[in-house]
Each structure stands twice: as C-alpha cells, then as structure tokens.
C-alpha cells in the first residue's frame, strides 16, 4: 500500500485539475478496503488504445479519463506527428467533442496542449457528432483529428478517439508508438499549454457541417421515392446527432421526422434509458411507443455521438420489429450493390472498382451477395479503423459500403468511419425504393434469404475482470464441441491469419474462430472498450423448396442451442 500511495501522491503533484487532485487525496487518506481497491484500480495501469481509441470512466488517475491523461496523450501525439508527419505543424489538428460529462473540458485541454506546442487547431463547436470530426480531418487537410467521446458507453465514461491524416482511426503500430511516447512525457507541468482563446485556434463551424452534409448526400444511393412520404419517428437518445440529422433530412428533400421529445436534447446522464446504446433492450421503447401511436412507417435511432444507427419497422401484424445490426447491414449492402450493378452508384465515377466490406464478426451474407454481384468483398478485423481501410486490400478499388454488426455502417467514402447520419439517409432511400415497388424492409430481407440462405446471428457477452486470462484458457483447452455440435476447424488470429482466399492475411488480433460441423461459426474476442469477453455466432441454412419458414425455424433452434452453450464455455 505504501508504494501505491507513493505513486498516487506523485500523480497528485502533477495533476492539473483541482477536483481530480482532491479525489485522489481523499482516497489516499481513507484507510478503508473500498478506498484501497479503488486506488489500486485507478493506478493498476493506464488507459490504452482499444477498438476505438481510449475509453474509460471519468475520474482521477492514469486508468481514468481526465485532463492529466488527455494532456499526456496529446503531448505524445504532438511528438509522434513531429517524428512522422513533417507537415503537421502547418496542417494542424481538428478537435471535437460530444455532450458527455467533461467532454468540452477535455477538448479544451487537447486544444491547449496542441496550440501550446505550436500546432494549429480547427476547433469544432461543442456537442457535434463523431462523423463530422472524421470528415473534417480530410476536408481541412489536417494532420490528425481528436474527438472526445465514449460513443454508446455508460454515462460515467468518456474517451479520446484519434484520427490521422487519412481521416481513419489509428491502427497498430501507430497506437502503440503513441502509447510508448506517453511513457516518455515528462512532468505534466512542463508541457506547454496555450491560454484559450489562442491565435492558433480557429473555430470551425457551419462551413464544415454544410460540406459534410453535401458530401454525404452525394454519396447516398438515390432510390425511388414512394407515392407518399414515409412517416418516420426519430430519437438521438439524448445525444448530439439530432440537429445535423434534421438538416440532412431537409436538404435531402425528406419531411421532418417526429422526434421523441423526452430524448431530443443532449443530456450526459441519459435519464430515460438504462444504457445509451440502441442495441440494448429498452433503449428504443419511447421511440417504438411513439411509432405505434402515430402509425409510423419507420423508427430510427442514433447513439449519443451519432455514429451508429438502429431501425425498427412494423410487420404485417402491426407489431414492431427492430432490425439487428446484421439485418440492417445486409439490406443496406444489398441495396448499394443493386445500385452499383444498375450503374447508378457511385454517382461520381472515379474509375475505381466498387468494393464492400464487413468485419469478421458480422454475418457472412454480404460476402455472398457481393460475390453474386461480381463486386469485391473484404472481411476485416473488428473496428471501423480496419473497415475504412478495406480498399487497401484491392488496389484500384473504392469502398462504397462497409458495416459491423454493432450497428455501425458507412455508405460511400466521404467519411472514413461509421456514420449514422449517412446510413440513415441511405436507409430512407432504400425504404422509399421498396415502398415504390410495393415492398418493405422485412420483405426485402426475406427475398435475400430465399436466394442466399437464412443467415441468423447472435452475440453473447460475459463480463470478465481479466478477459486476457480467459482467452488464454480457451486457447490452452479449445472446445471439441459447442452445443453438442462438433468443432470442425479452429483458427487463432493471435499471430495473424489468412481469412479469405486471394486476400492479404488479417493482422494479429486476440480472436479465436471455431467452425462447427453444421457450418455454424463462433468467434470469441475480448471487448476493446469494456471488461468483457464477446462471442459472435452465425448459423446458415439454405432455403429448400422456397420454404423460408422451415429454414428460419431450424436456424433459430440451432442458434439458441449454440448460444446457450457459450455461457459455460466462456466461464459465466
């Protein structure tokens, strides 16, 4: 405990925030077991780059999100740019933030460190969606972009998302190089911080938002409009996407959506939901109730930073059906591929070959549709930092659609990250096309399954204090069967591995994949943003004699059987 307190006191001396200093001092002086455990957790390590940058609970200490951690990380970023991007001090860095607790303060800290080091900053307004920051990096020709956000994480969290000059998030080895430079940062008091406002800081306001919307609208497949406008209920889930999405609807010629009033305004406490993640059960309850009350055609929801999209539709009985991430990704991808085959998309021909992509934990159905369309498909590791770079695997290609099953989609390549606003516009375009044909989103999905087979997916998460230890145990004793179905093949991506014929090997990742005798597939990996182990299951059944009901029932039964077996396997 003495060493722990010594480290904590050393941190307090440097911490620039009086509230955070008081927080650590209170824990040091508290002799109780709970205070000791909390202090150990805060000083057990430091936040590291995961699937989508740094993320953690807001609070004091190196293993939390706070001004000190942001100051260290930004100083390391400046050093990395000096070493690897000689033009960075001319190009500058874009900084944005959402509406979470302390987001504006952490964005100010980032800005002050950059400007204090002589790096120009394009500061976006407070409370903007993440896709706007990703877009702004390339729009301004910036050397990097920093977005303060924890996306859909719990209210007590915040994060630091980092983009480089190409507008995509950092990937290895850059993230590890920056982490190594963090260790070399000297006393925090020696890091120069500019007083704000500063001549090196330029406010980037409406102009970049207008440019983003124009680019997204140009990059949206242009489906037919239905005989009557679709009735849409929308919720930003107390997040920051509402105003920009409303403007996107106006510019796109769509009528205004009916917004859930209780969730319209940004609120970092997210008072009407247990968790601000549209995947979570209950998150869409208010929107669905409003959809039923108004007889709406479609319910749309963004997560708090606007990079994810959820959707629900009424079925033939009038009950509402929330589309899974894979279902939504499949119909959007199929629609884009239809437009590509018809020569209507992309609308601006660059001479590049259209390409679609999905993460390996997503359904394999999009790959089958792409093969049928004669369009290259690339499977990537989890995270849009990989999906955004999928075209690198096929020289002369251009990403026209990419998705991951956790409700992340990008349509076109104006934004090199997931973009819930662009995806929502594409879904409205598809829904309009289907309505003009006398069809619906569920009907479109059924038609795809009749052609390519029923692809049913599910995810199982298990909280784990040490996910790495559980992965090590699984590697040491891989299962011979899952749900009483034999394991036919196992693939460990720890050293990288070939996933697709004719494509480059995937980079090393902490992922195990198991293919079962029935053709089902199970992937297991630790979460990159939370202390969890995640398993992804896919069951595929062909549709015989056009009997979709039988294939669907059989796949559902197998999926339940395999998913139920994952609890004991993962140690829940």
Question: pLDDT tens for residues 14-67?
Answer: 999 999 999 999 999 998 999 999 999 999 899 999 877 899 999 999 999 999
Task: Convert the pLDDT of each residue in 252-269 to its tens digit.
Answer: 999 999 999 999 999 999
Q: 279 pLDDT exceeds 90?
A: yes
**Average pLDDT rounded to a whole number, residues 82-110:** 97
Q: Sorting pLDDT into bands at 50, 70 and 90, what band is 240?
A: very high
> Within 10 A of 305 (CB to CB), how many other CB atoms are there?
35
Question: Across all residues in the chain, what is the average pLDDT?
Answer: 95
Task: Convert the pLDDT of each residue in 458-473 to its tens digit.
Answer: 999 888 878 888 899 9
364 part of the active site = no
DSSP conformation class of 506: B
Q: Phi, psi at residue 553, to the nearest 5°?
A: -65, -40
Q: Would you state the structure tokens that stand for residue 334, as one six-digit string? A: 């199929």
Task: Convert the pLDDT of each residue in 350-359 to its tens digit.
Answer: 789 999 999 9
Which residue in the list 151, 359, 364, 397 is annotated as catalytic? 151
My answer on whether omega of the bond before 86 falls inside 30° of 0, hence cis, is no
pLDDT, residue 528, reads: 67
DSSP for 457-468? EEEEEEE-S-HH
Which residue do the tokens 């298990």 mark? 462
pLDDT, residue 238, reads: 98
pLDDT, residue 531, reads: 78
Q: 567 pLDDT exceeds 90?
A: no
Q: Is residue 59 within a helix (H) or strand (E), and if so which, with residue range?
A: none
β-strand pairing of 201-203 with 121-123: parallel
My answer on whether omega of the bond before 346 falls inside 30° of 0, hence cis, is yes
- Percentage above 90 pLDDT, the chain: 89
**Average pLDDT rounded to a whole number, residues 441-469:** 92
pLDDT, residue 529, reads: 64
Q: Sorting pLDDT into bands at 50, 70 and 90, what band is 331?
A: very high
Please report, for the chain, the start and end positions of each structural domain, with discontinuous segments joined by +.
Answer: 45-204, 206-452, 453-570
Task: Convert the pLDDT of each residue in 521-560 to its tens digit.
Answer: 999 998 866 778 999 999 999 999 889 999 999 999 999 9
pTM of the full structure:
0.95
Q: 301 pLDDT exceeds 60?
A: yes
Rounded Cα distance, 240 and 474, in Å:
40
Rounded Cα distance, 195 and 112, in Å:
7
**Half-sphere exposure (Cβ direction) of 196: Cα atoms closer than 13 Å:** 18
pLDDT, residue 227, reads: 84
Rounded Cα distance, 535 and 483, in Å:
14
**Average pLDDT rounded to a whole number, residues 451-457:** 97
CATH for 206-452 is 3.40.120.10
Q: 1 pLDDT exceeds 70?
A: no
Rounded Cα distance, 441 and 446, in Å:
9
Task: Convert the pLDDT of each residue in 167-176 to its tens digit.
Answer: 999 999 999 9
The 3-class secondary structure across 153-222, one letter per residue, is: CCCCEEEEEEEECCCCECCCCHHHHHHHHHHHCCCHHHCCCCCCCCCCEEECCHHHHHHHHHHHHHCCCC
For the domain made up of 453-570, give the CATH fold: TATA-Binding Protein (3.30.310)
pLDDT, residue 316, reads: 74
Q: Is residue 472 within a helix (H) or strand (E), and if so which, with residue range?
A: helix 467-476
What region does 263 belong to: left with phi over 0, alpha with psi -120 to 50, or beta? Answer: alpha
| Helix, strand, coil percentages, rounded to 5, for the chain | 40, 20, 40
Q: Would you state the structure tokens that stand for residue 383, as one six-digit string? A: 């995270």
E strand spans, 50-188 = 54-57, 93-97, 121-123, 144-148, 157-164
Q: 201 pLDDT exceeds 70?
A: yes
Quick check: do 45-204 and 206-452 share a fold?
Answer: yes
pLDDT, residue 333, reads: 98
Rounded Cα distance, 216 and 201, in Å:
27
CB neighbour list of residue 237: distance below 8 Å, 6 or more residues apart: 263, 270, 273, 276, 278, 283, 301, 302, 303, 304
pLDDT, residue 31, reads: 86
pLDDT, residue 151, reads: 94
Closest listed residue to residue 414, CA positions, set 469, 477, 468, 347: 347
DSSP conformation class of 361: T
Closest listed residue to residue 139, CA positions, set 190, 213, 74: 213
Angle 226-231-235 (CA atoms, 0-180°, nearest 5)? 135
Q: 383 pLDDT exceeds 80?
A: yes
**Average pLDDT rounded to a whole number, residues 69-90:** 97
Task: Convert the pLDDT of each residue in 485-516 to its tens digit.
Answer: 999 999 999 999 999 999 999 999 999 999 99
CATH value of 45-204 in 3.40.120.10, 2.40.30.170, 1.10.3210.10, 3.90.1170.40 = 3.40.120.10
Closest listed residue to residue 337, CA positions, set 319, 358, 316, 312: 358
Closest listed residue to residue 359, CA positions, set 106, 144, 538, 167: 538
Closest listed residue to residue 252, CA positions, set 434, 401, 425: 425
228 in Cβ contact with 87 (< 8 Å): no
Residue 172 to residues 49, 503, 509, 529, Cα–Cα distance (Å) = 10, 19, 11, 16
Closest listed residue to residue 394, CA positions, set 353, 334, 342, 441: 353
Q: Sorting pLDDT into bands at 50, 70 and 90, what band is 138?
A: very high
């Amino acid at each position: 405990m003495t060493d722990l307190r010594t480290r904590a006191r050393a941190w307090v001396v440097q911490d620039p925030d009086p509230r955070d200093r008081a927080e650590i001092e209170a824990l040091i002086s508290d002799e109780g077991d709970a205070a000791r455990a909390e202090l150990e957790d805060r000083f057990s390590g430091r936040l590291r780059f995961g699937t989508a940058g740094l993320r953690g609970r807001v609070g004091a200490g190196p293993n939390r999100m706070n001004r000190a951690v942001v100051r260290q990380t930004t100083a390391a970023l400046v050093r990395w740019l000096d070493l690897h991007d000689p033009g960075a001090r001319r190009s500058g860095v874009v900084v944005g933030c959402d509406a979470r607790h302390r987001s504006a303060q952490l964005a100010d800290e980032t800005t002050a460190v950059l400007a204090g080091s002589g790096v120009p900053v394009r500061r976006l307004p407070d409370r903007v969606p993440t896709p706007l920051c990703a877009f702004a990096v390339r729009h301004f020709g910036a050397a990097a972009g920093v977005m303060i956000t924890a996306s859909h994480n719990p209210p007590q969290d915040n994060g630091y998302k980092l983009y480089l000059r190409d507008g995509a998030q950092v990937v290895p080895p850059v993230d590890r190089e920056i982490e190594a430079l963090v260790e070399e940062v000297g006393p925090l008091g020696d890091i120069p911080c500019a007083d704000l406002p500063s001549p090196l800081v330029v406010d980037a306001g409406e102009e970049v938002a207008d440019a983003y919307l124009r680019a997204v609208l140009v990059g949206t497949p242009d489906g037919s409009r239905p005989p009557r406008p679709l009735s849409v209920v929308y919720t930003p889930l107390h997040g920051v996407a509402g105003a920009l999405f409303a403007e996107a609807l106006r510019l796109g010629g769509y009528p205004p959506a009916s917004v859930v009033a209780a969730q319209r305004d940004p609120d970092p406490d997210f008072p009407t939901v247990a968790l601000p993640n549209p995947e979570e059960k209950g998150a869409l309850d208010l929107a669905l109730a409003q959809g039923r009350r108004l007889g709406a055609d479609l319910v749309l929801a963004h997560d708090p930073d606007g990079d994810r999209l959820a959707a629900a539709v009424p079925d033939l009985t009038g009950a509402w059906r929330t589309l899974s991430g894979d279902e939504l990704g499949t119909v959007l991808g199929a629609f884009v591929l239809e437009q590509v085959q018809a020569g209507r998309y992309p609308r601006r021909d660059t001479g590049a070959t259209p390409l679609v992509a999905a993460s390996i934990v997503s359904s394999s159905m999009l790959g089958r549709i792409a093969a049928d369309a004669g369009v290259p498909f690339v499977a990537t590791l989890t995270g849009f930092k990989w999906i955004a770079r999928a075209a690198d695997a096929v020289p002369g290609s251009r990403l026209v659609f990419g998705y991951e099953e956790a409700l992340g989609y990008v349509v076109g390549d104006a934004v090199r990250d997931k973009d819930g606003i662009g995806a929502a516009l594409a879904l409205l375009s598809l829904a309009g096309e289907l309505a003009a044909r006398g069809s619906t989103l569920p009907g479109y999905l059924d038609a795809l399954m009749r052609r390519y087979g029923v692809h049913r997916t599910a995810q199982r998460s298990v909280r784990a204090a040490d996910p790495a230890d559980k992965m090590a145990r699984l590697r040491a004793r891989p299962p011979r069967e899952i749900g009483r179905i034999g394991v036919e093949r196992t693939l460990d991506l720890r050293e990288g591995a070939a996933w697709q014929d004719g494509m480059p090997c995937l980079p090393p990742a902490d992922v195990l994949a198991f293919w079962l005798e029935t053709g089902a597939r199970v992937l297991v990996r630790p979460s990159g943003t939370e202390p969890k182990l995640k398993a992804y299951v896919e069951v595929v059944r062909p549709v015989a004699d056009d009997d979709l009901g039988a294939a669907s029932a059989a796949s559902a039964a197998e999926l339940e059987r395999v998913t139920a077996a994952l609890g004991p396997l993962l140690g829940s």
